[in-house]
Copies of this chain bind each other. A is one copy, B any other.
Amino acid sequence: MANDPKFLTIAVLGGTGKEGSGLVLRWAQSGYRVLIGSRAADRAEEKAVELNELLGDDIVQGMSNVDAAKEADLVILSVPYSAHEPILESVKEVVQGKILVDVTVPLKPPAVRTVHVPEGLAASLEAAALLGENVKVVAAFQNISAVHLKQLDHAVDCDVLICGDDDQAKSEVSQLVEAIAGMRAIDAGPLANAVAVEALTPVLLYINKRYKTVGAGIRITGLE
């Protein structure tokens, strides 16, 4: 029983945002205990009330980013790129020894449909450099449309490319992926490969606009 991943407590920092709250909903629906973190604890608490109502359950809790990161077994970071570094600094101490899954995409508004390569090449590489070697940083979920996450009765037609330098951490994140209906976890290599995955998000945003759709995603072909 102790190995059942459902006994994990997941913190979603930035869980009040569109993508973050979509992930919170899906994992809560699958039975995980989920903590919403926000810079303002009261906003996180309000969001938790809203999501619990949607779920008809009382499984989501809201609190500050630091408290959520401290209490969780595994930490998800889903924030606008402009908030990425300050939030990482604020939780650096409390995530030591944990897995941090970075969902952040280095978009540069207003040109969010054009790839922007940050100084450290990828947000998740910057996170790993900032947090140090005792945090296992994994990059995942950047290409999943928030619109699909919110439709709880609807399977998400998208693969999740998982990048990281620790195989055990990637395998734990794969379980979180496959807890969401429709998603398939794909091991996409070392954390350096997150450059490709993060850069794909502005391409998908471009495709959404160009083809008048809302939730373009990707599938890997040629497997099996």
Contacts and interface: CB of A to CB of B under 8 A. Distances in A.
B192 A222 contact: no
A199 interface: yes
Interface of A is mostly: mixed
A196 B203 contact: yes
A2 interface: no
Contacts of A219: 218-219, 221
Contacts of A223: 207, 211, 213, 216
Interface stretch (A66-74, A78-86, A109-117, A172-180): A109-117
Query: Contact residue range for chain A?
Result: 35 or more
B221 A217 contact: yes
A167 to B, nearest CB: 11
Contacts of A190: 114
A149 interface: no
User: Taking the full assembly, how many copies of this chain does it contain?
Assistant: 2
Interface in A100-114: 113-114
Interface string A142-173: 00010010000000011001000000000000
A168 to B, nearest CB: 15
Contacts of A34: none
A220 B217 contact: yes
A189 interface: yes
A214 B223 CA distance: 9
Interface string A178-215: 00000000111110110111011011101110110111
A216 B220 contact: yes
Given A113-B189, A213-B224, A219-B219, 6 more contacts: A114-B192, A114-B193, A115-B192, A189-B207, A216-B223, A218-B219
